[in-house]
Amino acid sequence: MVYIPNSEQDFQEMLKTIGVDSFEDLLGSIPDVLKSDRELNLPLPLTEMEMDEEICRIASENRASNRLINFMGAGAYDHYIPKVVDFILSRSEFKTAYTPYQPEVSQGTLQAMYEFQSMICELTGMGVANASLYDGASGMAEAAMMARNISEKNRILISETVHPRYLQVLNTYAGSLELEIDILPARNYVTDLKRLSELIDSKTAAVILQSPNFYGYIESSAKAADIARNGGALFVQGFDPISLAILRAPGDYKADIVFGEGQALGNHMNFGGPYLGLFAADRKYVRKMPGRIIGATEDAQGRRGFVLTLQTREQHIRREKATSNICTNQGLNALAATVYLALLGKNGMRHVAELCTQKAHYLHDKITALNGFEKVTHEPFFKEFTVRTAIPAAEIVRQAEAAGFLAGVCKGQFYPDCKNELILAVTEKRTKEQMDKLISFLGSL
């Protein structure tokens, strides 16, 4: 039981009970140089009821995304999540479960992970998937490290069209791993494959693309994979899982390693996280994969069961032999993705993807027909696109919020030279009425 003093007298009584004269006596082992002597000027303590009211007051100042018409994307998407997803996630056996350190007694958790892996393999066309990583960014960095471990080469060619935040994470990894990161330039908002052919060499471990890319456009991944393979490098593909319901799976054009952000699969935007890293590879590279892999087996009585087949983590083996320092997985987020995929099935996923595509193209065509807005490229896109604006995109976003819209992401916050470019995303949730309202607002600027 925790005792909380309600007055100075109670506090002094507590100190007396534990055998000290003052609170400072409890800090005697801390050197004086580490102690602050300034007045903290803290407010008076609040009761639980008062604190609850104060938190609610502060929270009411936020403008939640569900109160605005949301056209933001750039890695976090406002897809519809069936209510049963959250219901299943709220069950205590899932909600409170942690990494199974005695895994075989956790058959329910293991089966959920196994089903997740199976669905990711089917979605991507790859031979093996792990039980998830932290997010799409860590997935890309782990893919680069895995490619280095397979090829024993240190050079990574990565397209400038990948998510800039993902590139930041990769650069963080690269510092300690001595990876050489070279950027592939873009042309017309997609990777310049001619430059890829010129830049790839015998020292290149992997070529990394993301499709749809950060700007929203679909890359010529099959051609890039051929160039990488002919140059003796592995091909690493980033993907949007929803898009694979209507686009070619990376396994079809023999990608070696794939990664993706799984937030769109039944996970809320959650203020930016936690999210879900999707990761899969050609089966022959299974022993080089990061994270953990669940397998199905039979016990001595012939009953089907599930086991942790591979978990080459530094907690279990010698540190230098670990495939990665990734020690765990996003189990609850992966379960949400599993439930979502199972509920929708192939037909449901295709329907969602088609709605996203049709609505995004409707909005794109209407916006680029307005004065002050221009199409930036004729390249195909899935659910996200970029437009050029006559006034700074940040100003459009600011005014739009006041009018009840999250009108997209200003590209200038990532690329200072692109202040007049706006990235918009459209999911199946956006109605024609909502899109027409945005069009009307943009037309009035």
Decide which of 291, 321, 340 is a domain's last residue: 340
Q: Which residues contact 269 (CB under 8 A, 6 or more apart)?
A: 65, 76, 77, 78, 263
Question: pTM for the complete prediction?
Answer: 0.88
Pair (131, 253) in one structural domain: yes
Strands (E), 20-100: 69-70
The pLDDT mean for the chain works out to 92
Q: Closest by alpha carbon to 114, among 133, 102, 129, 125?
A: 129
Beta-carbon count within 10 A of 185 CB: 13
- For the chain, the domain total comes to 2
CA 73 remoteness from chain centre: 12
Decide which of 297, 314, 340 is a domain's last residue: 340
Q: pLDDT tens across 241-280, in order? A: 999 999 999 999 999 999 999 999 999 999 888 999 999 9
Residues of the chain with pLDDT under 50: 1
Pair (263, 184) in one structural domain: yes
Pair (73, 90) in one structural domain: no
Pair (335, 354) in one structural domain: no
φ/ψ (deg, to 5) at 187: -140, 125
Range of the domain at 181: 83-340
Q: Which residues contact 182 (CB under 8 A, 6 or more apart)?
A: 155, 156, 157, 158, 199
Residue 154 burial class via C-beta count within 10 angstroms: exposed 0-12, middle 13-18, buried 19 and up? middle
DSSP secondary structure string for all residues of 99-154: --SSGGG-HHHHHHHHHHHHHHHHHHT-SEE-S-BS-HHHHHHHHHHHHHHHH---
Q: Where are the alpha helices (DSSP H) in 251-392?
A: 331-368
Pair (213, 191) in one structural domain: yes
Residue 400: which CATH number?
3.90.1150.10
3-state percent helix, strand, coil for the chain, nearest multiple of 5: 45, 20, 40
pLDDT score recorded for residue 25? 85
Pair (328, 373) in one structural domain: no
Pair (253, 285) in one structural domain: yes
pLDDT score recorded for residue 93? 85
Question: Contact at 8 Å (CB) between 159 and 193?
Answer: no
Which neighbouring-strand residues pair with 157?
182, 207
Residue 118: which CATH number?
3.40.640.10
Pair (265, 171) in one structural domain: yes
Angle, CA 281 vertex, CA 280 and CA 285 arms, to 5°: 135
Angle, CA 283 vertex, CA 280 and CA 284 arms, to 5°: 125
pLDDT score recorded for residue 314? 56
Pair (92, 75) in one structural domain: no
pLDDT score recorded for residue 1? 45
Pair (412, 277) in one structural domain: no
Pair (258, 387) in one structural domain: no
Q: Is residue 396 part of a domain?
A: yes
pLDDT score recorded for residue 3? 53
Pair (306, 396) in one structural domain: no
Q: pLDDT tens across 67-82, in order? A: 899 999 999 999 999 9
